[in-house]
Amino acid sequence: MTSYFLALLLLVPGLSLAQKPFTYHISGKIGVLNAPNKVYLRNSELVDSATLTNGVFELKGSAVLPTRADLVVQANGYHPNTALTNATSVFLEPTPVVVISEGSLRDATTTITGGPLTTEHQQLYAAVPPNATPQQYAQAYTTFIKTHPTSWVSLMALWDMGVFAERQYDEVAPLFAALSPELKSSRSGRIYGDLVQGLKATTVGQPAPNFTKKTPAGKLVSLADYRGKYVLLTFWNSCASCRTENTNLVNAYQAFKGPQFDMLGVSFDTENNRDRWIKAIADDHLAWTQVADLDDPDREVQRLYGYPGTPQNLLIDPKGKIVAANLHGAELHATLARFIK
């Protein structure tokens, strides 16, 4: 989910940066590795690369704001879906960053030094105990954010908290509100502000924001069309990991469909994935209406609903009010049985 949100930053237009671009400089030594080994620097897209010569490398380029990136060593070219077995995280900042490793970047002996943001980045990770539970991650990150309200690392940590657990408005809204104006006015900060407003608007008891989107056949469908019955609004994506809940949804639809209940699927696929989306609908036997944000650069549904991860869902009552959220497995069937008589 972290990659999803980082990629999302590239999709939202019109969010100009108040910060001036700066030059990052990352150098160091990774064992005695030579070509064809290369070191790659990447975040939501590939940023830079350099060939290793006796382990030595140097990367220099321009960045628009301080942010985390992965430093990855691979011998056969960079492939996004390859497991990152030799990788670590660095923080892009104006101060030079130096990485020293005996050969494996994941090894505990690897050292990363740089400016204040690199130091804070290391402090954040050091605050998480070994084999931490999601709750321990969230607690460590929350403490860091509260004590570093002006740090770009805190904004990154706030985004990352969505990896450990589903975001709750009452938990993340105060953390975001306490961040400095500079962080909140940045592109990623403004998107997170939209996320917070979306979380507020979609808590249980709130009216579900209306939208109108197209089916694969091009028919316009509105959430308001479902007034008068319960509707399960499902958010998903055609990638394999985002379809894990579909079998359970199919079973729920077969068990409860009728005059009192229907479902509406919203895919977060893009136009480039149209064929994959349509194939996934058929392969997973999703018989209820499906719409998508395919050609919407503003990602309206995602923004209105707080940029939800996938798969997630909301149960909406006949008057359009949200009555339950993120129902999975047996809980979904039990909740539907409680509402639909």
CATH number at residue 63: 2.60.40.10
Give this prediction's pTM: 0.75
Write the DSSP string, 167-205: --HHHHHHHHHTS-HHHHHSHHHHHHHHHHHHHHHTSTT
Q: What is the pLDDT at residue 5?
A: 41
CA distance 222 to 213: 7
Domain range spanning residue 60? 17-112
Q: Give the containing element (helix H, strand E) for 263.
A: strand 261-267
pLDDT in tens, the chain (341 residues): 333 443 444 333 333 334 678 999 999 999 999 999 999 999 876 689 999 999 999 999 999 899 999 999 999 888 776 778 899 999 999 999 999 999 999 998 999 999 999 999 999 999 999 999 989 999 999 999 999 999 999 999 999 998 777 788 899 999 999 999 999 999 899 989 988 998 898 899 999 999 999 999 999 999 999 999 999 999 999 988 889 999 999 999 999 999 999 999 999 998 988 999 999 999 999 999 999 978 777 789 988 998 888 899 999 999 999 999 999 989 999 999 999 98
Task: Please tell me whether residues 189 and 249 are part of one structural domain.
Answer: no
Q: Which pLDDT value is given to residue 340?
A: 92
Query: Domain check: are 89 and 153 in the same one?
Result: no
Assigned token pair, 214: 């197209």
| 201 contacts: CB under 8 Å, gap ≥ 6 | 209, 304, 305, 306
Closest CA relative to residue 94, chosen from 24, 17, 155: 24
Q: How far apart are CA 338 and CA 68, in angstroms?
A: 45
Residue 121 lies in a domain: no
* pLDDT of the residue at 242: 86
- Total number of residues shown for the chain: 341
Q: Which CATH number characterizes residue 328's domain?
A: 3.40.30.10
Looking at this protein, which amino acid is placed at residue 60? K
The reported pLDDT for the residue numbered 192 is 93
pLDDT of residue 267: 95
CA–CA distance, 176 with 197 (Å, rounded to integer): 11
Burial class (CB in 10 A: 0-12, 13-18, 19+), 216: middle
Together in a domain, 295 and 330: yes
What pLDDT is stored for residue 166 in this prediction? Answer: 77
Same-domain status, 220 and 328:
yes
Q: Flag whether 302 is in a domain.
A: yes
pLDDT for 81: 66
pLDDT of residue 15: 36
Question: What is the structure's pLDDT at 68?
Answer: 94
Whether 1 maps to a domain, the answer reads: no
Contact partners, residue 122, CB within 8 Å, separation at least 6: 112
Same domain, 97 and 144: no
The predicted structure's pLDDT at residue 284:
97
The answer to the question of residue 10 being in a domain is: no
Tally of structural domains, the chain? 3
Dist CA 89 CA 43 (whole Å): 10
Burial class (CB in 10 A: 0-12, 13-18, 19+), 248: middle
Domain end: 201, 235, 256, which one?
Answer: 201
